[in-house]
Amino acid sequence: MVRVFLTGKPGVGKTTAIKKVLQYLDKNAYGFISEEVRDANGARAGFNLCDIETGKFIKMAQKNGRSQQPKVGPYSVDCRKTAELMVESLRNENGKAVAVMDEIGKMELISLRDKANYLLEKEFYNFYDKADHIVGTIPMQAKDKFVDEIKKKTKVIIVDQSNRDSVADQVIALLKSEACF
Give per-residue pLDDT as tens, 38-83: 999 998 899 999 999 999 999 999 997 677 788 898 999 999 999 9
- Look at residue 113 in the predicted model and tell me its pLDDT: 87
- State the pLDDT at residue 158: 96
Burial of residue 117 (CB within 10 Å: 0-12, 13-18, 19+) is buried
What DSSP state is assigned to residue 153? Answer: H
Question: Mean pLDDT throughout 151-168?
Answer: 94
* Element containing residue 130 per DSSP (H, E): helix 118-130
Round the average pLDDT of the chain to a whole number and report it: 90
Structural domains in the chain? 3-177 (3.40.50.300)
Exposure on the CB side of residue 41, measured as CA atoms within 13 A: 3
What are the E-state strand segments in 27-164?
29-38, 44-51, 57-63, 71-72, 75-77, 98-102, 133-137, 155-158
Helical axes 79-89 vs 106-113, angle rounded to 10°: 100
Q: What is the pTM of this model?
A: 0.91
